[in-house]
Amino acid sequence: MNRFFVIACALTLMLSGAVAGFAEDTLHTELEVLDPNFAVVEPGENTQWFDALKIGLEGQGWAENAHPYDRIPAKAEGVIPPAVWSLSRHSAGLAVRFVSDSPEISARWSVRGANLAMPHMPATGVSGLDLYAKDGDQWRWVAQGRPSKQHDNQARLVKDAPAGLHEYMLYLPLYNGTEKLEIGIKAGSTLAKGPARTDARPIVFYGTSITHGGCASRPGMAYPAIVGQRLDRETINLGFSGNGKMEAEMGTLIAELDASVFVLDCLPNMNPEMVTERVAPLVKILRAAHPDTPIVLVENIIYQNSWFYGRGGHTAKNVALQEVYAGLKKDGVKGLSYVPCDNLLGDDGLGTVDGTHPTDLGFLRQAIALEPAIRKALPRETQDRVRFRGRLVRQ
């Protein structure tokens, strides 16, 4: 990519940013443009395809992975439980954040598993893509990529985009692994990496199938993603279906992450004895590695049919968590927050698919219930959302 191309792109994106209405008082951020010489153009087509890995992933805590779209590093195989390792190959929470002035945005992708859907969760959530765009200081939904096969899915996500520069977030499949992903733009347009965040430290969520994203209709509706959108923060989804059990090995691994907040939401996969035995040691592992990082403890959801059967499978676990929380506070552990179960799903029966796994409405309710504790825990100076105007640098 020559110097003339860099200068021309800088002028183009600065002007298009003004057309798109970026405010004069927003942060001037350098944008790293991808070189079109490395794009793939199919014969007879007018689309430039870029490998998403060249843009970079959000939501991935480690770089040394067995597969580029894994959530857990290769060194953890054989150390953490085998089921957790297998589920870590799912791309839940991974996203690609990019900027483009292209009138069209497309995607083509392959997934690692042949099962595109589950009986209680649609293919759009299990194996699909989900595109959001920045509207001022808010992330808003734009389009979904619907999978129809394991390999070589393709979708045009945006057609006739408003003129100017737009920041996008593309969420990857929740309950399937991503094998490969490419972003397509109209030839002659520009594709850049998303602007640097003011605080690069992510919010880390560790939990169960609910945290994992079951049973969202699309990837951007899992509650960690919703929280990330509402706070404009990167999030890391370490939800493992049926296997969020707070093993010491998982605590040691998660403690490697430089998080802004740790959110622990594992109780649906634990019994009261496990809560009593495992929560405090895991919290202390995190606190030893990160003396000042806030930790949020989340109670077990209220199972939605418990009113009918007259039993609350959540109650004993939540009592155990309350006792552990009180004990940690008594021991002088600082920076702890606690989220009770009362408002996580609502009491109208509309919050879950099967009494446990949230609908999109249930996920929204969870995000709203968790947001105040997470927002309060974030450093004050990094809570403000920031917009940008584009200025380019060579890749």
Q: Is the pLDDT of residue 150 over 60?
A: yes
CB contact set of 218 (below 8 Å; sequence gap of 6+): 124, 125, 128, 130, 144, 171, 360
* CA Rg value for the chain: 21
132, 141 contact by CB (below 8 A): yes
Residue 288 three-state SS:
helix
If one counts the domains in the chain, the total is 2
Q: Is the pLDDT of residue 145 over 50?
A: yes
Mean pLDDT on 368-375: 97
When pLDDT is averaged across residues 81-110 and rounded to a whole number, the result is 98
Let me know whether 227 and 359 are in one domain: yes
* Residue 242 clears pLDDT 70, i.e. is over it: yes
Evaluate whether residue 39 is within a structural domain. yes
Average pLDDT over residues 49-53: 98
Query: Same domain, yes or no, for 296 and 364?
Result: yes
Residue 280 structural domain: 203-381
Please provide the average confidence, as pLDDT, over all residues in the chain. Answer: 90
The backbone torsions φ and ψ at residue 166, rounded to the nearest 5 degrees and listed phi first, read: -130, 140
Residue 45 CB partners (closer than 8 Å, separation 6+): none
Task: Identify the burial level of 380 via C-beta atoms within 10 angstroms of its C-beta, where 0-12 means exposed, 13-18 middle and 19 or more buried.
Answer: exposed
Total-model pTM:
0.91
Per-residue pLDDT tens for 192-237? 999 999 888 999 999 999 999 999 999 999 999 999 999 999 999 9
Residue 345, in any domain of the structure: yes
Q: Are residues 122 and 176 in the same domain?
A: yes
Tell which residue, 121, 127, 117, has the closest CA to residue 178. 127
Residue range 334-359: average pLDDT? 96
Report the pLDDT value the prediction gives residue 395, as an integer from 0 to 100: 37
Closest residue by Cα to residue 94 from 68, 74, 116, 114: 68
Residue 29: pLDDT band with limits 50, 70, 90 = low
- Over pLDDT 90: what percentage of the chain? 85
Q: What percentage of the chain has pLDDT greater than the value 70?
A: 89
Whether residue 1 is predicted with pLDDT greater than 50 in this model: the reply is: no
Residue 47 lies in a domain: yes
Q: Are strands 129-135 and 191-193 parallel, antiparallel or unpaired?
A: unpaired
Average the pLDDT over 164-176 and give the result.
98
86 occurs within a structural domain: no
Could you tell me the CATH number of the domain that includes residue 268? 3.40.50.1110
Residue 18 lies in a domain: yes
Same domain, 129 and 229: no
Same domain, residue pair 320 and 211: yes
Poorest-confidence range of 5-9, 107-111, 193-197, 289-293?
Answer: 5-9
- pLDDT at 216 (0 to 100): 98
* Residues 34 and 177 placed together within one structural domain of the fold: yes
Q: For residue 310, what pLDDT is reported?
A: 78
Nearest to 179 by CA among 156, 157, 155, 150: 150
CB 262 within 8 A of CB 204: yes
pLDDT band at 7 (very low <50, low <70, confident <90, very high): very low
Q: Looking at the structure, do residues 314 and 290 belong to the same domain, yes or no?
A: yes
For the stretch 259-305, pLDDT in tens is 999 999 999 999 999 999 999 999 999 999 999 999 999 999 999 99
Question: Is 290 in the same domain as 266?
Answer: yes
Whether residue 87 lies inside any domain: the answer is no
pLDDT mean over 243-262 = 98
Question: Residue 285: its pLDDT value, please?
Answer: 98
236 is a domain residue = yes
Q: How far is CA 124 from the centre of its chain?
A: 16
> Hey, CA dihedral for 116, 118, 124, 125, is it positive or negative?
negative
CATH number (domain holding residue 138): 2.60.120.260
Looking at the fold, whether 193 and 63 belong to one and the same domain comes out as yes
CA distance 376 to 68: 33
Residue type, 60: Q
pLDDT digits (tens, 9 = 90+) for 376-393: 999 765 544 433 333 444
Q: Which residues contact 118 (CB under 8 A, 6 or more apart)?
A: 126, 175, 214, 215
For the residues 18-24, what does the mean pLDDT come to? 38
Asked whether residue 146 falls in the same domain as residue 175, the answer is yes
Lowest pLDDT segment from 11-15, 42-46, 145-149, 236-240:
11-15
What is the predicted pLDDT for the residue at 312? 73
Residue 188 has pLDDT above 90, yes or no: yes
Q: What average pLDDT does range 337-346 have in this prediction?
A: 96
The one-character DSSP state at 157 is E
Q: Is the pLDDT of residue 20 over 60?
A: no
Q: Are residues 240 and 352 in the same domain?
A: yes
pLDDT score at 390 = 39
Q: Tell me: do 108 and 134 sit in the same domain.
A: yes
| CA angle (15, 20, 22) in 5-degree steps | 85
For residue 301, what pLDDT is reported? Answer: 96
The pLDDT, as a whole number, for residue 199 is: 86
Examine the pLDDT at 17 and tell me if it is beyond 60.
no
Mean pLDDT of 240-247: 98
CA distance 391 to 395: 13
- Does 153 fall in a domain? yes
